[in-house]
Amino acid sequence: MTNHLRNLGTQFSIPINADEHGYVGRECPIKECLGYFKITPGTGVKGPAPCHCPYCGHIGKSSTFFTPEQIEYAQSVVIRKVTDAIHKDLKSLEFEHKPSGMFGIGLSMKVQDRSPLPISHYRERQLETEVVCDNCTLRYAIYGVFGWCPDCGVHNSLQILSKNLELARKQLALATSADAELANHLIGDALENVVSAFDGFGREICAQKGADIRFQNIGVARLKVKEVFAFDFADTLNANDWNSACRVFQKRHLLAHKMGVIDDEYIQRTNDPGAVAGRKIRVGRDEVNDAIGIVEALGRRLFAGVIGSSS
Ligand SMILES: [Zn+2]
Ligand SMILES: [Zn+2]
């Protein structure tokens, strides 16, 4: 009965279980990144697939993405199994020979009971954004907001943009049933959210390609993108739509920086016939609604031009 150790074999398979929210932690193996994220096994791409780091885009075998805590845990489980087996083997070798005769020496071997070696338990970390990939349905969690889907490798920026635009649409819908003052506030807020969502989105995808471009002034952004990426992200828009997008972005500038009061710069930059310097700007629900559609189209075009239609 001394085969406990031998029976363990030389290969161990230690399951890494999901936490109470269904997540398993992962860590990018690239030294400069070591980004931590979580995925939900069973959602996303079916069958074996390589893992994509959401932060740096590194693609590698899923087995190279274990966290140090998971490896330490697995090692401690193996060490416990081995030491337990050794203990049992030694225990089965216990003997006790009584001394016999006048000069006999008694020999014995007793294996002391001991507390088993501890298992190195771990907890997965809290992350900032949970995403359900709209391409492969993987549920994952990351720091920050933007990232590549760990399963299918699609960048989530377009999905995040759509989600923010959807929220702005909801604000506009609320404005229809609010009193005038609150309605104005909701519409202005929706506009600010549309512009900052587009700015965050545009900056992120340009940063993925090493370019630093801001999108709060879409006229300037259009020129910069042409210069850096050699395409026009507004080439699918007619002049009318482009002009009204520019005007609404300028209105956002007034709301954010001038308490909504029209200045000369606004009059110069936009073709707004009703605008008078020193008066408050009016932002209509319909023009913000239209702007959302336009921004969505610009976003898709920008994404296709900078990142490519698929990864
Ligand atoms: Zn990485
Ligand atoms: Zn995906």
- Ligand 2 centroid from CA 280, angstroms: 45
Determine the pLDDT at residue 299. Answer: 97
Calculate how far, in angstroms, residue 160's C-alpha sits from the geometric centre of ligand 2. 13
Return the number of other C-beta atoms located less than 10 Å from residue 177's C-beta: 8
pLDDT in tens, 12-38: 999 999 999 999 999 999 999 999 999
| Band of pLDDT at residue 96, cut at 50, 70 and 90 | confident
Rg (CA), the chain: 31
Instruction: Please tell me the distance from the alpha carbon of residue 311 to that of residue 299, in angstroms, as a whole number.
Output: 16
- Range scoring the smallest mean pLDDT among 129-138, 186-195, 264-273: 264-273
Nearest ligand, measured from the Cα of 153: 2
Instruction: Indicate whether this model's pTM tops 0.95.
Output: no
How many A from CA of 72 to the centre of ligand 2?
29
The side-by-side arrangement of strands in the sheet containing 36-39 is 24-27, 36-39, 139-142, 129-132
Cα 26 to averaged position of ligand 1 atoms, centre (Å) = 10
Angle among Cα 227, 231, 233 to the nearest 5 degrees reads: 105
- Ligand 1 centroid – CA 148 distance (Å): 10
Average pLDDT in the 104-120 region? 86
Distance 93 CA to ligand 2 centre (A): 56
| 159 Cα to the center of ligand 2, angstroms | 11
Q: Tell me the average pLDDT across 144-171.
A: 96
pLDDT at 311 over 50: no
Ligand 1 center to 110 CA (angstroms): 52
Span 212-251, pLDDT tens digits: 999 999 999 999 999 999 999 999 999 999 999 999 999 9
